[in-house]
Structure 1
Amino acid sequence: MEDTKRLLTTFLTLVAILIMVGMVFIYSASSVYALESCGNAAYFIKKQLFGLVLGLIGLFCMILLPLPAIKKFAPLFFLVSLALTYATLLPGIGIMLNGSRRWLSFGGIMLQPSELLKMCTIMYLARYIEKKQFNLRSLLHGFIPFLSIVGIVILVLLKQPDFGQAVTIGTTALALFFVAQGNLKQLSITALIGLFGATILVYFKAYRMRRILIFLNPWSDPQGAGFQIIQSLVAIGSGGTFGLGLTHSKQKFFYLPMQHTDFIFSVIAEETGFVGVTLLILAYILLLITGVKLARQFTDDFATLVTLGFVFLISLQAIINIFVASGLAPTKGIGLPFVSFGSSSLICSLFMVGLIINCALENNALQRQIQKQI
């Protein structure tokens, strides 16, 4: 019980640190752009703070909800989030931004339902695995239904299109199947088919193929498609060992696009240097290790699986974002968890943290009950 409490405290401390880092650098990276485009240097940080408040409310709601009720209604949460994500595809309902329909507007507040869908998919898959654990290795009764759930989610995401989110949720789902001791042969074949399918989707979409070519050689179009990654590398290289200092980024002056969202890592590298980004990466590594250790403390299968799923998803998104900003992967449009600007992402991430806290508290309560009986 003490281990669970200690691990949870460490986990929450790391989350709090990442959120604070995000707030500092969202303001630093966005202030010039916000002043120019919105007339208020604090425009984006105010929106992120509003998202933080909503996220904390959601976090406490997830703590207060009984874990058995969350399990029971996991399929309903999944269906609602899937319906909301599908609604983005409907003309007159979904909002088109940057060539993709990923957004809904509620009273002027823009929300990205796919963020909610990722969380609810993990919850539903964790519930499915818990119920089907004795049939999970069966192709007909275990794996095919599991794969069907994931397939539906991926198809909806690809229709937006949101290839990056489809890759992250597909990879996370297979990781969950692996830790649940599913059939490795089925898993391997599916992974190979998925890799082949992703290759086909890239090859037959000109803009995706263009991203691959630019990733391989951004200097082939330095003023066009390669501009963003080149400016990102300039920002990272300019940081040196200790950085230029907080708020002293030069690339944020309209050189680096998406400097407060997908490429905030580059601004952090520019302002804090190698030392700063090393500490940031270390925070994510510790978050992953602590989350896995915490999940292993739980006696409830759903709690273990949902915690592992959430932690893996957050870590995978961090890896992809850092790789993209560093020129080690093609651009994907995935933010840095807890750090990048994006209210929907922050709110849903805090919902996930709330459920992890709930699982830990439920586990402690169960352990105390067992100790009393002994």
Structure 2
Amino acid sequence: MFNKKSRRLTIEILILVVIGVIMVGSSSRVWAHAKFNDFMYFMSRQAVFALIGFFVMWMSSKISLTKLRGHAKIFFIICTVALLLVLIPGLGVQRNGSRSWFGVGSFLIQPSEFFKIAIILYVADHLAKRYRIKKFKKDLIFPCFLVALGFGLILLQPDFGSGIVMVCSIVVMVLAADSPISYFVRVGMLGIAGLGGLILSAPYRLFSAFIYN
């Protein structure tokens, strides 16, 4: 049975999902009617996936955390390999300029979605072995490396949105682990430097795409 905190968290998640479905319906009514002659086309599809998500969430709540922690590392490795394989032309399916999926026809699987779950489990296991974050090099360098690895692979697709969601999730987890704010300043400076590098390299990447295409 869910305890009080788990029930509260579940209710909050359900409310957010319902609001999200309504927002999808509200923002897509005109386009859905123009393209499919159905005002509720995108909202109904989103609602179906939300129901599937609720079922998966309920099934996941039955899994033993002890067993889950025991497989966190191998799950992370598999998902990381999937992020590498999806970048290979012929294996990864390209849609709207992003090579982010495996699949055939309309059946597609996005490995970055599984990677987000995998890195949350792996970093949670890493942090759970430390009662509190005490030393930056000892306790946080490893999670920072995992985040940088995942974020870099996801950007190569490119899928900036999924990368940001993954990074924010890990930041919240590290905050919950009672990490000193000074550590976030260091990581933030590294993040700003990396973002600056991406911005500076954008003209080169655009020029390369123009030359090779």
Q: TM-score, normalised by structure 1?
A: 0.47
1:303-326 CA-partner distances (Å, limit 9, x unpaired): xxxxxxxxxxxxxxxxxxxxxxxx
Q: Which residue of 2 aligns with 1:149?
A: 146
- Residue 32 of structure 2 aligns with an amino acid whose one-letter code is A
Matches of 2:174 and 2:17 in 1, distance apart?
A: 30
Matches of 1:149 and 1:10 in 2, distance apart?
A: 30
1:46-82 CA-partner distances (Å, limit 9, x unpaired): 4223312321221122111112111111222222332
Q: CA deviation at 1:101?
A: 1.7
Select the residue among 77, 82, 85 that pairs with 1:84: 82
Alignment size in residue pairs: 205
Query: Does the 8 Å contact 1:94/1:102 carry over to 2?
Result: yes
Q: Which residue of 2 aligns with 1:137?
A: 135
- Residue 88 of structure 1 aligns with an amino acid whose one-letter code is V
Give the percent of matched residue pairs that are identical in Structure 1 and Structure 2: 24
Q: 1:18 to 1:183 in 2, by over 3 A?
A: closer
1:96-127 CA-partner distances (Å, limit 9, x unpaired): 22322222336733333222222221111010
1:13-43 CA-partner distances (Å, limit 9, x unpaired): 3333333333334334334323433454443
- Residue 142 of structure 1 aligns with an amino acid whose one-letter code is D
Q: CA deviation at 1:159?
A: 1.0
Select the residue among 202, 205, 208 that pairs with 1:205: 202
Quick check: which has more Rg, 1 or 2? 1
Q: 1:86 to 1:136 in 2, by over 3 A?
A: farther
Select the residue among 162, 166, 172 that pairs with 2:163: 166
- Residue 190 of structure 2 aligns with an amino acid whose one-letter code is I
Q: 1:172 to 1:20 in 2, by over 3 A?
A: closer
Q: Which residue of 2 aligns with 1:192?
A: 189
Q: Which residue of 1 aligns with 2:73?
A: 75
Matches of 1:138 and 1:187 in 2, distance apart?
A: 10
1:1-374 to structure 2, matched below 5 A, reads 4-5=3-4, 7-105=5-103, 108-133=106-131, 137=135, 139=137, 141-182=138-179, 185-206=182-203
- Secondary structure of the 1:124 match is helix
Query: Does the 8 Å contact 2:103/2:109 carry over to 1?
Result: yes
Query: Does the 8 Å contact 2:75/2:118 carry over to 1?
Result: yes
- Residue 145 of structure 1 aligns with an amino acid whose one-letter code is F
- Residue 72 of structure 2 aligns with an amino acid whose one-letter code is A
- Secondary structure of the 1:102 match is strand
User: Unpaired segments of 5 or more residues in structure 1?
Assistant: 209-374
Q: TM-score, normalised by structure 2?
A: 0.77
Query: Does the 8 Å contact 1:137/1:182 carry over to 2?
Result: no
- Secondary structure of the 2:87 match is coil
Q: CA deviation at 1:136?
A: 5.7
Q: 1:16 to 1:32 in 2, by over 3 A?
A: same
Q: CA deviation at 1:132?
A: 4.6
Query: Does the 8 Å contact 1:137/1:183 carry over to 2?
Result: no
Q: 1:178 to 1:26 in 2, by over 3 A?
A: closer
- Residue 123 of structure 2 aligns with an amino acid whose one-letter code is L
Query: Does the 8 Å contact 2:79/2:115 carry over to 1?
Result: yes
Superposition RMSD in Å? 3.2
Matches of 1:30 and 1:134 in 2, distance apart?
A: 45
Q: 1:171 to 1:10 in 2, by over 3 A?
A: closer
Q: CA deviation at 1:86?
A: 2.8
1:131-166 CA-partner distances (Å, limit 9, x unpaired): 255886262x43332322222111111211223433
Query: Does the 8 Å contact 1:88/1:101 carry over to 2?
Result: yes
**More RCO (CA 8 Å, sep 6+):** 1
- Residue 36 of structure 1 aligns with an amino acid whose one-letter code is A
